[in-house]
Chains A and B, each alone.
Chain A
């Protein structure tokens, strides 16, 4: 659950280019991230992938300076952006479309444990 609106969370300076993504894409639950991918046009998913992909190692390196546990809000947003990247990556590299080709309707495949 977000403690305040994502619009107000400022990413660390090094990740300024990703700031426009935070409000819409730094989603804290798997359910929200899966929905976002499923309901976005493929071009939008591709744009996200193209923007965040090259930053992934830098994001991981920055987050690695923090101990595993609770992160400050800017780093939490970065972590959620990294999680969202993984959702877009499978769509771009494997599906060529937002949802699993020939897959079951996602509403039938319930995410029962989403707190990560």
Chain B
């Protein structure tokens, strides 16, 4: 890439390409108002596809994942049945509403047995056994399967939906973002790490720090000192912002003059990972589904799946974010890291450095968020200012506001 083209890339202004978004300040109301949160819950969270897991995380019949979904007030089980089909249920016994599986997380079972009275369900949710069944009156087991949760899949990602009949399929919801990401070899990857934190901050406060790179120079001084916000792109700007309806993408460039530390270099010798240089302009080298700008100094793509998820893609690894809203000022944040399945132990060892670096890098972001929320809740400022590089934040607000406004105007329940 010529030097002048590189400068153009870093200096391009994106926001003014979308006059409908404006360039003005954004009110703080949506970060602090319980009334706005209630509207988000009814018109956004309850009407959107929400990422639950990837099906490679439950590869064998009997594998299942349990997750509490706070804003729905429910716990959900996603299980792979004997028939290898994946299904989603409420974690609720048909008898008297007992919780079927107490521990959240990933596990394996041949059946689900309620700990209160022993009602037993197959992995397909069918009620198989009822102790003292003849003491019930007209009990029809076939009518007592575990309550189903709507789900749909795309490239192995399992998304759930609060409606029995969502207005759009998952693929329709993803739209052109799915077109852009299709071809990335998700099925050849596997989960290597998962982390979570519950933060006293609005879900958008948590989400927003990850859809801009403006913070990198200040926040990641220890974990990522020179790989991004140094060199010709000294501010670490994102490039190639793309809007995909409600969703959006951008590409994070790597500092082309980046000199890896000794262990970053060692890890890059062994495997793909954060510090491995990839020629993003080479069609032979670059994986499909990312870096549409074909920038040579490619780090990873940010892909925001409205409303609460990211599926960020890199060469040989990817990571997802889940921002589960609990209340206007509390969020459960989950990060999952996936890698290509190693064929050698040296590959496996090399991947370990990226895992540690991502885990520790996120520890730099998280302390920013609760004080940010407190400050906004104090009322000291009434609006936030957004630069061109914070277009993703501006777009997110625009989509939220227009979704809620449309629902209110149409008198939708």
Answer whether A and B are interacting partners.
Answer: yes
Which of B194, B352, B360 meets A82, CB within 8 Å? B352
Contact, CB under 8 Å: A109 / B262: no
Total interface residues on A, using CB and 8 Å? 37
- Of A61, A66, A104, which contacts B366 at CB under 8 A? A104
| Interface positions of B from 326 to 350, Cβ below 8 Å from A | 334, 336, 341-346, 348-349
Q: Please count how many residues in chain B sit with their CB below 8 Å of the partner chain's CB atoms.
A: 43
Within 8 A of A (CB), among B76-126: 105-106
Whether A111 lies near B195 (C-beta < 8 A) is yes
In the assembled complex, the CB of B411 is this many whole angstroms from the nearest CB of chain A, namely 41
* Other 15 A-B pairs with CB < 8 A, given A90-B360, A108-B366: A53-B263, A63-B346, A79-B345, A86-B353, A86-B355, A90-B353, A90-B356, A95-B222, A100-B223, A100-B360, A101-B222, A103-B363, A106-B363, A109-B363, A110-B195
B261 is an interface residue with CB less than 8 A from chain A: yes
Q: How far does the Cβ of A29 sit from chain B's closest Cβ, in whole Å?
A: 12
Residues of B within 8 A of A87 (CB): 356
In the complex the two chains form, is B194's CB within 8 Å of A112's CB? yes
User: Is the beta-carbon distance between B345 and A60 smaller than 8 angstroms?
Assistant: yes
Contact A100 B191 (CB under 8 A): no
Produce 1/0 per residue, A57-92, CB < 8 A to B.
101110110101001000000010011011101100
| Cβ–Cβ < 8 Å partners of B195 in chain A | 109-112
Residues of A near B264 (CB, < 8 A) are 93
Chain B: CB-nearest residue to A78? B345
Contact (Cβ within 8 A) B349 A113: no
Are A109 and B362 in contact, CB atoms less than 8 angstroms apart?
yes
CB pair A64–B263 under 8 Å, yes or no, is: no
- Listed in ascending order, the chain A residues whose CB lies under 8 Å from chain B are 30, 34, 53, 56-57, 59-61, 63-64, 66, 68, 71, 79, 82-83, 85-87, 89-90, 93-95, 100-104, 106, 108-113, 116
The reply to whether A108 and B356 contact each other, CB–CB distance below 8 Å, is no
Does B356 contact A86, Cβ atoms closer than 8 Å? yes
Most chain A CB inside 10 Å of its own CB: which residue of B197, B341, B345, B360: B345
Q: Show the binding face of B for A, using Cβ within 8 Å.
A: 105-106, 191-198, 221-223, 225, 261-264, 266-267, 270, 334, 336, 341-346, 348-349, 352-353, 355-357, 359-360, 362-364, 366-367
Given contacts A109-B195, A110-B196, contact A64 B344 (CB under 8 A): yes
Are A112 and B223 CB-contacts (below 8 A) given A63-B349, A79-B349, A93-B261? no
- Asked if A68 and B342 make an inter-chain contact with CB atoms under 8 angstroms apart, the answer reads yes
A-chain residues with CB within 8 Å of residue B334 when the two chains form the complex: 112
Give the number of A-B contacts (CB < 8 Å): 114
Contacts of B270 in A (CB 8 A): 60
Whole-angstrom distance between the alpha carbons of A102 and B346 in the complex?
32
Q: How far is the CA of A104 from the CA of B200 in the complex (A)?
A: 13
CA distance A99 to B404 in the complex (A): 43
On whether the beta carbons of B367 and A104 are closer than 8 Å, the reply is yes
Q: Report 11 cross-chain contacts, Cβ distance below 8 Å, ordered by A residue.
A: A30-B193, A53-B262, A86-B267, A86-B353, A93-B261, A93-B262, A93-B264, A101-B221, A103-B364, A104-B363, A111-B359
Q: In the complex, are the beta carbons of B223 and A68 less than 8 A apart? A: no
B345 pairs with A68, CB closer than 8 A: yes
5 pairs of A and B residues whose beta carbons are closest in the complex? A63-B345, A103-B363, A113-B194, A60-B346, A89-B263
> Is A102's CB under 8 angstroms from B367's CB?
yes
Q: Which of A53, A94, A110, A112 contacts B222 (CB 8 A)?
A: A94
Complex: chain A residue closest to B342, CB-CB: A68
In the assembled complex, which residues on chain B have CB atoms less than 8 Å from the CB atom of A61?
A: 346
Residues on B with C-beta less than 8 A from A34 are: 359
Please, which residues of chain B bring their CB within 8 A of the CB of A53? 262-263
A84 to B362, CA, bound (A): 19
Contact A90 B366 (CB under 8 A): no
Give the docked Cα–Cα distance between A104 and B359 (Å).
Answer: 11
Given A79-B345, A110-B195, the answer on whether A86 and B352 have CB atoms closer than 8 Å is: yes
Contact A102 B222 (CB under 8 A): yes
Within 8 Å CB of A30, what residues of B?
A: 193, 355
Closest CB in chain A relative to B374 CB, distance in Å: 15
Flag if A94 contacts B261 (CB, 8 Å). yes
B345 and A100 form a contact (CB under 8 A):
no
* Inter-subunit contact B346/A86 (CB<8 Å): no
Chain A proximity of B65: nearest CB distance (Å): 11
